[in-house]
Amino acid sequence: MISARAKARDAAPTSRVMVVAILVSTVAFLDSTVVNLALPAIKRDLGGGLATQQWVVDGYLLALAATILPGGSISDLFGRVPVMRFGLAAFGTGSILAATATSPAMLISGRVVQGLGGAFLVPGSLALIDATFDRAERPAAIGSWTAWTGSAFAVGPLLGGLAVDLLSWRWIFVLGAAPIVIGFALTFWLCPMPGPAEHARVDVVGAALSAVGLSTTVFALIESQRRGWDDLLVTASTAVGVATLLAFVAWERRAPHPMLPLNLFANRNFAGANLMTAFVYGGLSMGSLSVALYVQEVAGYSATAAGLATLPSPIISFLFARRVGGSAARIGPRLFVMTGPLLAGVGYLLIRPAGHGFHVITDLLPGMIVVATGTVLTSTPLTALNLSSVEPAHGGIAAAIQNAVGRLSALIATACVGLIAASTLTDASFGRLLQVCAVLFFIAWAVGAIIVTNPTVAAEPVSCEVAAMCRDRHDAHPHLAGHF
């Protein structure tokens, strides 16, 4: 009988990559949503108002968005696996800090450290897939990645609700340690990957400009709710943020080793995929946070009940994401990235706020099912479209750019929740939030209709460098066989 250890050792290189990529990404995706349903409990325990709750979410998103571009660039330059291990270690450190927080400031600090670690995880995992699978099979592989990580993203609120109701909000960070430890151990299970680039150089100036520009801009968005737009600190932060981001673009145009190669945006599909990503993830983030807060704080449901309402998304994602990826590879992504956002937008309009007469099954669940269906039709083809628009050697930075766009959009959308709701969540303000979510998805549909085209895709083998390093399995992958 073959032992489990022997089976793991003999697993095909592509299977190894998928397991590690999914688990590592799950760490980041799960934590980005698991905290939402814990916000009311955190408020009761540590104090703070809506602005503090937003900073618990935005502290993570801000650090992630500010460092994900250099994270992708560093992954390309210094090797996927070592950078991934660093990200897992940093993420674990932030989780410990958050779990033991005794004040809002300490909790937010832990979330920031988690975000810094997460910036090195998702781009690296997608770059591993991009480098290991041939182009024809990449969409189906990304579909599998989306099915599992998307399920983690959506199941986060349910797990958070159970942890809050049965244990404590601190357990949402404690339980996250398990996949971190397992993911770190499994990175040693991968076959050797290409090492660091010779004379690797990091765009330090570009990284600093992007971090300062993003952090000051979002600080202004959040603090404007308490201080007002005419406050000196808010005005100064806005001016510094806009000026720094403009300086970042100017620097990247002339930098000898740019962190963000602007010429990538000359590709129509790459530009379209990232522009769609901005609106799709803005709508998703605003919608998930708004639903989580409304169901508990206005409708009066428990955290667990609110989490159960998110189940359509992980179920639909798990069942259909890989199939959607395979279908998009055969007939092209355009049909999917146009149909999906329309459905998701309609889904948000189907949700009916009704205050104390609000019933999750009749007023929320139908709309959430439609939103989940539209999201699944959109996410995998959109990711595959982004990666297929660049050479595999640029997979790390391409994944980082799309993730940075998505995280920045999510961060800004979260910061705008208080502005749209006028700092008070009611039936009327929740309705406005749902309408804004729908509009964001409809704009994404318009972008896809105008810009995105079906690429001409030809199967290509993985690089000789990667294939030569995976000699442990000659039958591992049909496109590897010719390299031995």
Q: What is the pLDDT of residues 263-279, one digit of tens each?
A: 778 888 888 888 999 99
Distance CA 299, CA 291 (A): 10
- Count how many residues are written for the chain: 484
* Start-to-end Cα distance in the chain: 29
Distance CA 439, CA 316 (A): 23
Model confidence pLDDT, tens digit, residues 174-193? 877 777 887 777 777 665 55
Helices (H), 389-426: 395-420
Distance CA 380, CA 188 (A): 28
- In order of 29, 35, 72, the CA distances from 41 in angstroms are 21, 10, 35
Structure tokens given for 152: 């983690």
Residue 133 burial by Cβ neighbours in a 10 Å radius (0-12, 13-18, 19+)? buried
Contacts of 332 (CB under 8 A, 6+ apart): 454, 455
What pLDDT score was predicted for residue 318?
Answer: 72
Distance CA 156, CA 468 (A): 39
Distance CA 210, CA 190 (A): 33
Structure tokens given for 57: 């979410």
User: ∠ CA(70), CA(155), CA(424), 5° rounding?
Assistant: 85
What value does the mean pLDDT take over residues 212-218?
A: 80
Distance CA 369, CA 350 (A): 10
pTM above 0.75, yes or no: no
- What band does 1 get if pLDDT is binned at 50, 70 and 90? very low
Distance CA 124, CA 67 (A): 13
Strands (E), 42-170: none
- What band does 458 get if pLDDT is binned at 50, 70 and 90? very low
**Residue appearing with tokens 């809506």:** 50
Model confidence pLDDT, tens digit, residues 407-448? 778 777 877 887 788 777 788 888 899 999 999 999 999 998
Distance CA 254, CA 266 (A): 16
Contacts of 258 (CB under 8 A, 6+ apart): 203, 206, 251, 252
Distance CA 136, CA 326 (A): 9
Distance CA 207, CA 210 (A): 5
Residue 314, CB-side half-sphere exposure with 13 Å CA sphere: 20
What pLDDT score was predicted for residue 482?
Answer: 29
Distance CA 373, CA 62 (A): 28
Would you give the DSSP letter of residue 102?
A: S
Distance CA 263, CA 270 (A): 10
**Over 70: is that where the pLDDT of 355 sits?**
no
What pLDDT score was predicted for residue 472?
Answer: 38
Would you give the DSSP letter of residue 299?
A: T
Where is 235: in which H helix or E strand?
helix 232-254
